[in-house]
Chain A
Amino acid sequence: DIQMTQSPSSLSASVGDSVTITCRASQSISSFLNWYQQKPGKAPKLLIYVVSNLRSGVPSRFSGSGSGTDFTLTISNLHPEDFATYYCQQSYSHPRTFGQGTKVEIK
């Protein structure tokens, strides 16, 4: 199984800051990497698919990059509504696996 490891597990930031979340796969997954956002008590929502493609309606302050085993999600100019937990997920093979999540909290 492909293990997905996110770092950090949590971070504190202020409105207006830029933050970067890293996701590392235990083996190469090419560009089969997606990102989801989850707010407390809500279902996850797709943010970015196939590394860097923003889902329609997702603000351009979100961006993704990477290939192979190392990927990043960057949020520029944090807005209050961006404080949430973010998960990466690989679709290279079954079983599909998620990172453990990165909680972005308000400083």
Chain B
Amino acid sequence: EVQLVESGGNLVQPGGSLRLSCAASGFTFSNFAMSWVRQAPGKGLEWVSTIGGRGTITHYADSVKGRFAISRDNSKNTLSLQMNSLRAEDTALYYCAKEEYYYDSSGFSKNYFDYWGQGTPVTVSS
């Protein structure tokens, strides 16, 4: 059974830092890209960042580029998100999500988030 368990969320002051973790189990972690998706209170879903299975390819939303860093430790089946220079607008529930691949008849890979953790809350406030 696939399980994703986030941790590390907390109350932090503006300008502060926080490191989120996601412990994965139930699948071959290194074979899959992983992502962080956040949800501000009462708002919709916002993709934050994705890292490839080997950890060499990363993507970021413009809103966090230069402030957040995604990483993974495939030996420990752990995904991380280092969050620096935090702002009030970063306040949200942060989900980690596993990406799955669907290969169409042309061989193109089409991705989707097939498993999500329960989320860890981050509050940025003085």
Contact = CB atoms under 8 A, between A and B. Distances in A.
Given A49-B102, A95-B47, A98-B44, A36 B110 contact: no
Contact-residue bracket for chain B: 20 to 34
Contact of B47 (A31, A49, A98, A101): A98
A50 B44 contact: no
Given A95-B59, A96-B47, A101-B44, A43 B114 contact: no
Interface of B: 35, 37, 44-47, 50, 59-62, 95, 100, 102, 104, 110-119
B82 to A, nearest CB: 19
Contact of A50 (B59, B62, B112): B112
Secondary structure class of chain B's binding surface, majority of residues: strand
Interface residues of A, number: 25
Given A46-B114, A50-B112, A99 B44 contact: yes
Interface of A: 1, 31-32, 34, 36, 38, 43-46, 49-50, 53, 55, 87, 89, 91, 94-101
